[in-house]
Amino acid sequence: MPHDPITTGTIAELNTFDPAIGSLLALEAERQSSTIELIASENHVSAPVMHAMGTCLTNKYAEGYPGARYYGGCVHHDGIERIAIERACKLFGCKFANVQPHSGATANQALFFALLNPGDVFASLVLADGGHLTHGLKVNMSGKWFQAVHYPLVYDASKPNFEHIDYDAVERVCLEAKQQHGDKFKLIMCGYSAYPRVIDFARFRAIADKCNVLLHADIAHIAGLVASGVHPSPFPHCHVVTTTTHKTLRGPRGGLFLTNDEEIAKKYDRALFPGIQGGPLMHVIAAKAVAFGEALQPSFRTYCEQVVRNARALATGLQSKGFRISSNGTDNHLMLVDLRGKSTQLIGADAEKWLESAGIICNKNGVPQDPRPPKQTSGIRLGTPATTTRGFKEAEMQHVASFIDRVLTAGLAGEAALAAETAKVREEVRTLCARFPLPA
């Protein structure tokens, strides 16, 4: 059963009125509480954040912005959105925020719509090296309607900064883009989906200034670490910042835009609404406000510091068992495990499936320069935001490293060994999770 009474009550209600959904919700609540969540982009929100989403605010249309809505009856919605904006600005140390993006992808889409024209050029890290699909993948609007040039990581394994961003190459790629495309080159993007190292925003800004282009940070993954001061802030270096609110920031599923530039803020507001979205999700905006309030508490910094300590403990635990960690470690909440360090036979897709059977949830992920296709991959991505929320510390991360090693080693030994070991580990995972209940 879930630990919080409102979810328990909701399940009971649905079991009466809509048992098809009620029973699946109950199963999902049980899955979340009895498995170890290592997906780097997921977290467990607090009960106040969760419940703010399930309120009467969902009934209301509030197109527009506080004080300038297209529907009557928005007075309380104005109050809620103003608080969310004020807290977002305080949290990230900037002057303007738009709390309406439905998601991180939408926040980025509106950024393109606000600041670029179709055919314009921007620089980013390619998805295969840790970027995101909204950073110029060919099948995404960002790559179809705009031209992405990609800067590299350091690919020379003999260098101490192997698999870190190659800042000299970033400068080279961007200056070439300026020379080739002139004023059509508009923006440099930094901030990633699978990059475990600190981002040098000041260095990026120096490059942006040399090219006379805007600097954008997509801090979707590290937002909580940034908000709590555990990762350096993109401000004052970046002109524009987008993020999700549901990863390390531990809020509801959603997006956020931030800037210090009033003109850009106005352009962004218009690009998001009416440019891209219709009515804002006011129940989610209320939950964002609650989550921002939580992140402003000193305890959130303690949480984020532990997230990073836990990631380091997991990375070193796995290294001690023969796994290679991309870039040789982590500075933030996530790591890329190169399974080939353990065995060239190990494939990310198998590892994901085997670990799930043992109650350990993660995702297959390419490692830089991965020879395997994205549906197989040579790696898995692991993150510690969710396990840290439920109270795991370094000692528990050592257990997790050992669980992972036992399952993957058994998988290499064949089906029978795998079945026997996953059954054992599954029970140990259940016992460990029972000691660390989800937020109530």
Ligand X SMILES: Cc1ncc(COP(=O)(O)O)c(C=O)c1O
Active site annotation includes 253: yes
Q: Shortest Cβ distance from residue 157 to ligand X (Å)?
A: 26
Q: Could you give phi then psi for residue 436, rounded to 5 degrees?
A: -125, 75
Q: Shortest Cβ distance from residue 217 to ligand X (Å)?
A: 10
Q: Shortest Cβ distance from residue 192 to ligand X (Å)?
A: 6
Active site annotation includes 247: yes
Whether residue 236 is preceded by a cis peptide bond, meaning omega within 30 degrees of 0, is: yes
β-sheet bridge partners, residue 189 = 216
Exposed / middle / buried, residue 22 (Cβ in 10 Å: 0-12, 13-18, 19+): middle
Q: Hey, which residues between 177 and 196 contact ligand X (CB under 6 A)?
A: 191-193
Q: Shortest Cβ distance from residue 107 to ligand X (Å)?
A: 7
Per rule CB under 6 A, is residue 98 in the interface with ligand X? no
Q: Could you give phi then psi for residue 159, rounded to 5 degrees?
A: -85, 145
Q: Hey, which residues between 39 and 58 contact ligand X (CB under 6 A)?
A: 41
- Binder among 69, 221, 267, 288 for ligand X (CB under 6 A): 221
Per rule CB under 6 A, is residue 170 in the interface with ligand X? no
Our CB check for ligand X shows the closer of 244 and 332 to be 244
CA atoms within a 13 Å half-sphere pointing along the CA-CB vector of 208: 23
Per rule CB under 6 A, is residue 248 in the interface with ligand X? no
Distance CA 362, CA 318 (A): 15
Per rule CB under 6 A, is residue 252 in the interface with ligand X? no
**Catalytic residue chosen out of the listed positions 37, 129, 163, 218:** 218
Say if CB 339 and CB 408 are below 8 A apart. yes
Beta sheet of 214-218, edge-to-edge order: 96-98, 255-259, 240-244, 214-218, 185-190, 121-125, 147-151
Q: Hey, which residues between 22 and 41 contact ligand X (CB under 6 A)?
A: 41
Whether residue 274 is preceded by a cis peptide bond, meaning omega within 30 degrees of 0, is: yes
- # binding residues, ligand X (CB under 6 A): 15
Distance CA 418, CA 414 (A): 6
End-to-end Cα, the chain, rounded Å: 12
Nearest-10 crossing angle of helices 201-211, 167-181: 20
- Binder among 46, 100, 244, 332 for ligand X (CB under 6 A): 244
Residue nearest to ligand X according to CB distances in the complex: 104
Query: Position of tokens 């909580």?
Result: 224
Per rule CB under 6 A, is residue 197 in the interface with ligand X? no
Our CB check for ligand X shows the closer of 41 and 422 to be 41
Our CB check for ligand X shows the closer of 39 and 175 to be 39
Q: Shortest Cβ distance from residue 158 to ligand X (Å)?
A: 29
Per rule CB under 6 A, is residue 314 in the interface with ligand X? no
**Catalytic residue chosen out of the listed positions 61, 172, 316, 356:** 61
Applying CB under 6 A, which part among 99-107, 169-177, 284-292, 420-428 lies near ligand X? 99-107
Nearest to 336 by CA among 376, 299, 293, 383: 383
Q: Shortest Cβ distance from residue 418 to ligand X (Å)?
A: 30
Our CB check for ligand X shows the closer of 177 and 190 to be 190
- Give the helix/strand (H/E) hosting 227: helix 223-227
**Catalytic residue chosen out of the listed positions 35, 134, 244, 377:** 244
Our CB check for ligand X shows the closer of 132 and 342 to be 132
Per rule CB under 6 A, is residue 142 in the interface with ligand X? no
Per rule CB under 6 A, is residue 132 in the interface with ligand X? yes
Report strand pairing: 379-383 vs 334-338. Answer: antiparallel
Q: Shortest Cβ distance from residue 244 to ligand X (Å)?
A: 4
Exposed / middle / buried, residue 360 (Cβ in 10 Å: 0-12, 13-18, 19+): buried
Binding residues for ligand X, per CB under 6 A? Answer: 41, 103-105, 108, 132, 134, 191-193, 218, 220-221, 244, 255
Residues designated as active site = 61, 63, 218, 244, 247, 253
